[in-house]
A and B are shown apart, each in its own frame.
Chain A
Amino acid sequence: MKKIDITDDLLYKYMPVVDEAIVNKVEENVDEEYTFSPDFKKKMEKTIRYEKSRHFWKKLSKSGRKVAIFALVILGFTLTATVSVQAYRLKFFETIKRVFDDSYRYTYKETTTNNDEELVECKFGYIPEGYELETESGIAIVHTWIYENAENSQIVIDQHLVTDSLDISFDSEYDSEEEFEIDENTLKICWYKDGTSYAYYEYGNCVIVMAIDDLSSDEIVKIAENIHY
């Protein structure tokens, strides 16, 4: 009786050949004329959007570039269907929301004539423990802070001075949302299944948008509550 040693080397040599033979056999006679059902196509569109969102957040977190990449939004912009238009009035500006298939967009109309033309950077009285400021950058109408902790989780905060030309789009394919009232303004947090989120908060004549890898809603609320000039 022959003695055979079943080593890893032998298996690494032989298994790919077996694998390829099986896969080649399986690939024979695949029906590429098959028409998937409408139900399947609809479910897949949603799954594709979900994966796109995951892909995007992974890129943001792992990005070694300390640039103010905010990229909340628009995964596959479809402008074909405007579902609804809402307009509501706030102190310094009017916010107009337009809803699309997989995104929504805020545009703004200044309602006061004495808005500062330059952005006054806000300050954060609270940033969660462990997070350090990695990057801060800004131009006349927008300022960005990127905080990061030892686990490479980021909090990216944009402060925008509202002008008539400001236009911010957001992904609407998130999984859940929460709203909190802070000093008569609403903080909206939109959550994805993997724990990432983004938050939107109107503060004075500015808009604050946060992209967050890994914080609880309590922490996000606390950041917003402690914003000041």
Chain B
Amino acid sequence: MMYLMLIDTQEEKRDFVRIYDKYKYLMLKIAMEVLEDQFMAEDAVHDAFVKLADSMDMIHEVESLATKRYLITITKNAAIDIYRKREKLMQKEMYVDELGENVGGVTYMESDLDNEVLDVLLNLPLKYRDVFILKYSSHMSNYDIARTLDISEGTVRQRIARGKELIKAQLEGGK
């Protein structure tokens, strides 16, 4: 008979705690860019961690691009939720579609890829770009993307299809 005592020693810190220690400032920055209010931004960060606590199965390595992307995504969504509630209270029009990461002045690490293609992908409307990043960079299934973005799987599939059309149109010199 053995009692397993879970003690949070320095040597065996759980991934959740490591993520909190490492990324809380990054997540706060994301939330601040949407909300421009530190207390609301803190609420958004906390909401994101609550979501993360229920979805730690999405995390494979603490220090990875996929983890950072996931945290950025859920924080941004948490911030947008708070933004919507605030704007509704203030009876303001809501333009949330383009709230998100500032894409100005990025530098691509790979030099042998077509920059024109990279720029088109970078400048996709956020609702398509977020889905594309989660699918083609983080390798999430449509189900997991839907769970992360709080949308239906049908919407995920639609955005992938529509996003591909937009990319093709852009690259072929269309609209």
A residues with a Cβ closer than 8 A to B are 1-4, 6, 8, 10-27, 29-32, 34, 36-37, 39-40, 43-44, 47-48, 50-52, 54-56, 67-77, 137-139, 142, 144, 158, 168-169
B1 touches A24 (CB 8 A): no
Contacts of A169 in B (CB 8 A): 3, 5
B residues with a Cβ closer than 8 A to A are 1-8, 14, 16-17, 20, 24-26, 28-30, 38-39, 42, 45-46, 49-50, 52-54, 56, 65, 68-69, 72, 101-110, 113, 117-118, 121-122, 129, 132-133, 135-138, 164, 167-168, 171-173
A77 touches B7 (CB 8 A): yes
Contacts of B2 in A (CB 8 A): 67-71
Contacts of B106 in A (CB 8 A): 21-22, 24-25
Contacts of A4 in B (CB 8 A): 168, 171-172
Least CB distance from B157 to A in Å reads: 13
A75 touches B117 (CB 8 A): no
A71 touches B4 (CB 8 A): yes
Q: Which of A19, A32, A44 contacts B49 (CB 8 A)?
A: A44
Contacts of A30 in B (CB 8 A): 25-26, 29
Known: A52-B6, A52-B14, A55-B14. 12 other contacts (CB 8 A): A6-B171, A15-B132, A15-B136, A16-B136, A18-B133, A21-B118, A22-B101, A24-B107, A26-B26, A26-B30, A69-B2, A72-B3
Contacts of B16 in A (CB 8 A): 48, 51-52, 55
Contacts of B109 in A (CB 8 A): 17, 20-21, 24
B164 touches A6 (CB 8 A): yes
Q: Which of B1, B105, B171 contacts A144 (CB 8 A)?
A: B1
A47 touches B53 (CB 8 A): yes
In the bound assembly, the distance between CA atoms of A14 and B135 in angstroms comes to 12
A40 touches B46 (CB 8 A): yes
Contacts of A52 in B (CB 8 A): 6, 8, 14, 16
Known pairs A21-B108, A48-B16; A76 contacts B1 (CB<8 A): no
A20 touches B65 (CB 8 A): yes
In the bound assembly, the distance between CA atoms of A47 and B65 in angstroms comes to 24
Q: Which of A6, A31, A72, A74 has the most CB of B within 10 A?
A: A6
Q: Which of A48, A68, A74 contacts B7 (CB 8 A)?
A: A74
Known pairs A17-B118, A19-B133, A40-B46; A34 contacts B53 (CB<8 A): no
Least CB distance from A134 to B in Å reads: 16
Find the A residue at minimum CB distance from B33.
A26
B4 touches A23 (CB 8 A): no
A40 touches B45 (CB 8 A): yes
A22 touches B122 (CB 8 A): yes
Known pairs A6-B167, A51-B53; A17 contacts B6 (CB<8 A): no
Least CB distance from B73 to A in Å reads: 11
B25 touches A31 (CB 8 A): yes
Contacts of B3 in A (CB 8 A): 70-73, 168-169
In the bound assembly, the distance between CA atoms of A52 and B6 in angstroms comes to 8
Find the B residue at minimum CB distance from A13.
B113
In the bound assembly, the distance between CA atoms of A215 and B6 in angstroms comes to 24
In the bound assembly, the distance between CA atoms of A108 and B42 in angstroms comes to 45
